[in-house]
Amino acid sequence: MNRLTRLEIWLVFALVFVLTLAIGLRGWLLEAQVNWDGLAAVAHAYDVFHAEPNANLAMIGFVQPPLPALLQLPVVLIFPALAESGLAANLLGAVCAGIAVALLLGLAADCGLGRVLRWPLVTLFALHPLVLGPAACGAPMALLTVLLMGAAWALLRWSREETLRDLIAASLVLAGALITRYEAAFIVVGALIYLAWRIRRGGGSWSKLEGTMITFALPIVYVAGIWIIANRAIMGDAWYFLRGTYEGARAAGIDEMLNTVVAVSLVAFFPVLALVYNQMRGAGRHPAPARPVAWLVLTALLAPIVFPYVFSGLADDGLWSGLLTPIAMIITGGFAMVAAMLGNFLQGKRSHVPPQGTVFMVVGSLAVAIWLLMQGLGIPGPLTRAYYGRGPLADTAASEIAAAELLVQTDLPPDRQHLVVGWPGFAVTLFAGRTGEMSVIRTGDLPQFVDTIWEGSRVVLLVGRREGGVSEAEVEAGLGLPQPLNLVQEWRAGPWVCYRVVGALQ
């Protein structure tokens, strides 16, 4: 039976939502697992309402892409306890996982797959460690997965009927992807190139090409323009978000990036290279059911190789961590291509590409992917940790939770400046519920705040751990405080140390 019912959609959403949230809660409650980017989005949204006496949307942050934080605004306003516990990130991740799977279900039904085939397909997608894992820990990659799945479905529909509705839908979701991960701009460019190629190849006029490109690009340009203008108006630099993103970034060579892209793509979805080959072969001569999606996936694969600095600059845990957008596109696009190609086969439509080459590539890719997994290459493993709420994008926040528990009991005089110095200091103040009482700054910005620290101030420092922490020598030197001010330790939780500023050494 091919017909998709509302009950089926809601059922798959509910099942995936409950499963993802349960795994996320397991990771959080038993092992304090979080995703720092997802938690930072919650903290930014919380700052909007609690960092100052009046709500201030400028507190949303101007380095991280804004959409994850904007989506958290209603949650932290109505249920601030969800933000202070960090569970707001897990909740959004579970919602995104449910929507992504529901979109794939609709895509599969639209391609002609019956329940016998589409339910196993969406089950494999929902249980994929790089779909379930990021969603369970609340990573923004879960939101990106939803948007890219929506783009794949919209472009597949547009390629068949060329309706204005599908064109605008693809534009809107890709605009959202752009403000979820900035490097999604390359996928937008890939979609533009595909649209232009498709119209000209189909004999469309130049006026049709112009109208299509303007209609598709307008929402994306509008969203990007608003974000650039906001940076200029509030931060004084239209490109502040890019400078902040790539500050201190390292560059990777083309060879290194090529090896990483191939390894990551095979580990994430081993048939992807074979599927792209199958759908792109003979592009100038024959149609293919999943070609628009293959075009997006090909763009996601080539972009890091052609522009290695852009993606290596996003890496914070190995080069693979800068490839989250390509990974999301590979997985969503891979499953979308499988659905479209299966549907085409079931409808009795003949493929113009001989299957031998594709089958050979699939078998070879599977062998290489198994070897990569056994060697621990590509993506840190084992990926099965995602089923316990501690996948490759999760990290422990045990030290931050312990520091927050002590900070709750710490006296903070209201007439003094109080600081949390180091990353992720935002988590300490968020968990403690003391966002409006303390300023969270980077270690490099500490000299600018030294003159604001008086006797009675509290300074919570990240000492001797992670890049960007304060060294023991700097603490012993008094952080450059003017005499006779000195630091006296009040408590310590792992690397987080709270000091009270006193007028004389005690």
Does residue 492 have a pLDDT over 60?
Answer: yes
CA–CA distance, 297 with 272 (Å, rounded to integer): 8
Q: pLDDT band for position 155 (50/70/90)? A: very high
Tokens 């949390």 — which residue? 420
CA–CA distance, 502 with 275 (Å, rounded to integer): 66
CA–CA distance, 493 with 145 (Å, rounded to integer): 36
CA–CA distance, 132 with 140 (Å, rounded to integer): 12
The predicted structure's pLDDT at residue 505: 52
Sign of the torsion angle spanned by Cα atoms 131, 137, 143, 144: negative
Nearest CA to 153 among 141, 165, 136, 143? 165
For 52-121, the three-class secondary structure string (H helix, E strand, C coil) is CCCCCHHHHCCCCCCHHHHHHHHHHHHCHHHHHHCHHHHHHHHHHHHHHHHHHHHHHHHCCCCHHHHHHH
> How far does the chain reach from its first CA to its final CA, in angstroms?
79
Mean pLDDT calculated for residue range 190-202:
93
Angle at 146 between CA 174 and CA 363, to 5 degrees: 100
Q: pLDDT band for position 465 (50/70/90)? A: low
The 3-state DSSP composition of the chain as helix, strand, coil percent (nearest 5) reads 65, 5, 25
Mean pLDDT calculated for residue range 197-201:
91
Residue 208's alpha-carbon distances to 65, 162, 203, 211, in angstroms, are 33, 11, 10, 5
pLDDT averaged over the chain? 92
The predicted structure's pLDDT at residue 380: 83
Does residue 132 have a pLDDT over 70?
Answer: yes
DSSP 8-state secondary structure symbol assigned to residue 471: P
Question: What is the value of pTM for the model shown?
Answer: 0.95
Q: pLDDT band for position 466 (50/70/90)? A: low
Mean pLDDT calculated for residue range 88-97:
98
Neighbours of 191 (CB within 10 A): 23
Instruction: Report the DSSP beta bridge partners of residue 324.
Output: none
Percent of the chain with pLDDT over 90: 72
Tokens 């493929």 — which residue? 351
Residue 398 neighbours by CB under 8 Å, 6+ apart: 32, 494
Nearest CA to 154 among 219, 89, 202? 219
The predicted structure's pLDDT at residue 381: 75
- For the ranges 236-240, 333-337, 368-372, 388-392, the maximum mean pLDDT occurs at 333-337
Question: pLDDT tens digit string along 381-393?
Answer: 789 999 999 989 9
Does residue 441 have a pLDDT over 60?
Answer: yes
Sign of the torsion angle spanned by Cα atoms 465, 467, 472, 475: negative
Tokens 């992917």 — which residue? 369
What is the chain's alpha carbon radius of gyration, rounded to the nearest angstrom? 25
The predicted structure's pLDDT at residue 95: 98
Can you tell me whether residue 490 is helix, strand or coil? strand
CA–CA distance, 74 with 60 (Å, rounded to integer): 13
Does residue 98 have a pLDDT over 80?
Answer: yes
Question: pLDDT tens digit string along 160-185?
Answer: 999 999 999 999 999 999 999 999 99
- For the ranges 49-58, 106-115, 348-357, the maximum mean pLDDT occurs at 106-115
Question: pLDDT tens digit string along 298-356?
Answer: 999 999 999 998 998 888 778 899 999 999 999 999 999 999 999 998 887 776 667 78
Residue 29 neighbours by CB under 8 Å, 6+ apart: none
Residue scoring higher pLDDT (465 or 475): 475
DSSP 8-state secondary structure symbol assigned to residue 350: P
Q: Give me the amino acid identity at 114.
A: G
Nearest CA to 366 among 302, 272, 276? 272
Mean pLDDT calculated for residue range 394-419:
94
Does residue 491 have a pLDDT over 90?
Answer: yes
Q: Are 492 and 501 in contact (CB under 8 A)?
A: no
The predicted structure's pLDDT at residue 53: 79
Residue scoring higher pLDDT (418 or 244): 418
Please tell me the least confidently modeled range out of 86-90, 98-102, 272-276, 412-416: 412-416
Please tell me the least confidently modeled range out of 207-216, 439-448, 463-472: 463-472
